[in-house]
Structure formats: C-alpha cells, structure tokens
Amino acid sequence: MKATRGLLALTGIGFGLWGLWLMRDFTSSQLVSMATFLAGGVILHDAILAPVTVGLGVLAARLLPSHFRAAAAGAFLIWATLTVAFFNVLSGKGGKPDNSTVLHRPYALSWLVLTGVLIGVMVVAARRRRRHLRAVADLPSS
C-alpha cells in the first residue's frame, strides 16, 4: 500500500511540475485569469455545491425509503456531474452569432433526456434493491 501511495504521489507531483513548466511562457494577464478561474471553482464548490449536496443528502435521508437512498445518492452524483459539464452550453456561453455551428444542438433537451434516463435507472435500481432486501429477509435463519 505504501508503494502504491508513493507512486501516486510521485505521479501527481510529476504532473504538477509538468503543468508549471507549460505555464512558463504565460503572460501576467493569463496567470491572473487562471488564478481567478481556479479560485472561482473553489468558491463555487465550497459556497454552493457542497452545502446544496449536504442539504439534499439530509433531505433524502429523511424523506426517501431506505432502499432508495443509495440509488438516489448515485443518481444525484452523476446528475450533478452532468449538469456541471453541461453548464456552459445550457447557459449559452461560448455561442457566436456569426458561426451557426457553435452551440447548434438542442442541449437543454439533451440534458433533460439524460436527467430522465438517470431517474429511470435510479428507480429500477431502487426497486431491485428493495426486491433483494425482501428476498434476504425471507431467508430462513440458521
């Protein structure tokens, strides 16, 4: 285990040094822009995403039956990741009026379809879990 951790640490340090090497020719405005982007990500996570996630987890633990909780947590994790990935196209940022090939798909519809599929998979997984728990409960104890 120590060897694996050491290898992972060396790999991470190596990638960090490579990133610093690639930044050697950045202008000061590029460095400020990158720092702002990174700080914004930390602030967004700590001020919005983490409290919302904890709040939804507490709410789910109180409202959902026990067999739904794991499926709901997994579905929410995947949905949140997809939503973050879709954020730029859902907000319309990056589109160019003079170039119709940029942001030319129905991204909101795609996001809604993915959300629906995810909810369907969550419901199926929760029902399978409930069926499994009932089968285990019906087993005779030895």
Which region holds residue 103: left if phi is over 0, alpha if psi is between -120 and 50, else beta? left
Q: 3-state DSSP call for residue 105?
A: coil
Q: Cα separations (Å) of 142 from 131, 139?
A: 21, 9
The backbone region for 94, taken as left when phi is positive above 0, alpha when psi lies in -120 to 50, beta otherwise, is left
Contact 126, 68 (CB under 8 A): yes
Tokens of 28: 């000061």
Report in angstroms the alpha-carbon separations of 117 from 26, 50, 106, 128, 129: 43, 25, 17, 17, 18
pLDDT of residue 21: 94
At 120, the amino acid letter reads G
Could you tell me the residue ranges of all domains in the chain?
27-63, 66-142
Reading the chain (142 residues) residue by residue, the pLDDT tens digits are 899 999 999 999 999 999 999 999 999 999 999 899 889 888 988 898 889 888 888 898 899 888 888 888 888 888 888 888 887 777 777 666 677 676 677 888 988 999 999 999 999 999 998 898 888 887 776 6
Taking a C-beta distance cutoff of 8 angstroms, is the pair 82, 111 a contact?
A: yes
**Considering the entire predicted model, what is its pTM?**
0.62
What is the model's pLDDT at position 113?
94
Q: What is the pLDDT of residue 95?
A: 65
- pLDDT for 94 equals 64
Among all chains, which residue has been given the structure tokens 């720092």?
35
